Amino acid sequence: MSEPEKTLDVRGLYCPSPAMQTVVELSKMQVGQVLLVLADDPAAEDDITDLCRTRGHELVQLNKNGSDLEFTIKKIK
């Protein structure tokens, strides 16, 4: 897996902000680039997973450490 080109830290923010900011950051990136999203809102797990599925991006990895979530997302289109 390639290193993320960008890291988005949305810890401390709550639904729907983490997902909305993830969409904005992905829109600025080139196809094939990787975004690392750091979140701690429990709703972000479903929200960001769903946005990857519905918008056609690849959720490469999801790490959970207590309340901390790390999403590694590859922009597909």
For residue 15, indicate whether it is catalytic.
yes
Which of the following is catalytic: 12, 15, 43, 76? 15
Helix (H, G, I), strand (E, B) or coil at 30: coil
Active site residues: 15
